Amino acid sequence: MWGVLSESFSSNGETLASGDAGGTTQLWNLNVQYAIDRICATAGDLTPQQWSQYIPQLAYQPSCSR
């Protein structure tokens, strides 16, 4: 496993590119709505109890549209 040697954000701030010493380049989608949509599609909404466990600093709000 190689450590990251460089990284750069896209001009719109929604993509991060990282490169390591082994020559691997990865692109990371940082779009928040995209992340919410992926989480909702695979795991569904958090219950109020799960929300308070994982995100206690924020008030509960359902994130997945029904």
Of the pLDDT bands very low, low, confident and very high (cuts 50, 70, 90), residue 63 is confident
| DSSP 8-state class, residue 33 | H
Q: Domain residue spans in the chain?
A: 4-54
Contact 21, 29 (CB under 8 A): no
Of the pLDDT bands very low, low, confident and very high (cuts 50, 70, 90), residue 66 is low
pLDDT digits (tens, 9 = 90+) for 2-48: 788 999 999 999 999 999 999 999 999 998 888 888 888 988 888 89
Rg (Cα) of the chain, in Å, rounded?
16
Closest of 8, 65, 11 to residue 33, by C-alpha: 65
Q: Which two tokens stand for residue 4?
A: 């990251």
Q: pLDDT value at position 62? A: 86
Q: pLDDT value at position 15? A: 95
| Residue 4 backbone dihedrals phi, psi, to 5 degrees | -70, 130
